[in-house]
Amino acid sequence: MSKREQLIEFCIQDITEYIAVDKNIPYDEAMNRFYGSETFTKLTDTETGLFLESSAYVYDLYQNECENGKLVQVEI
């Protein structure tokens, strides 16, 4: 397994745990929710570089996607 694959896998595990705890749902349901998201697609596309960000940052993107119905970049 490459370093990129490891970083992606660790991030997926963290985010799945965050979802399960925050939503009080089983781990497998949390995994299904995240795997079906645009955030997951971007995370696993190494061209985006998203896998280099922290799990907390990626989780914030996921939450934003859930709130807006799509992945949007927040302007500061």
Per residue in 31-66, pLDDT tens? 999 999 999 999 999 999 999 999 999 999 999 999
The answer to whether residue 73 is domain-embedded is: no
pTM to 2 decimals?
0.89
pLDDT of residue 72: 76
The answer to whether residue 42 is domain-embedded is: yes
Measured CA to CA, the distance from residue 46 to residue 37 in angstroms comes to: 16
The answer to whether residue 10 is domain-embedded is: yes
Number of structural domains, the chain?
A: 1
The answer to whether residue 59 is domain-embedded is: yes
The answer to whether residue 36 is domain-embedded is: yes
> Could you identify the residue written with the tokens 């985010």?
15
pLDDT of residue 74: 59
What sign does the CA torsion over 42, 48, 55, 9 have? positive
pLDDT of residue 16: 98
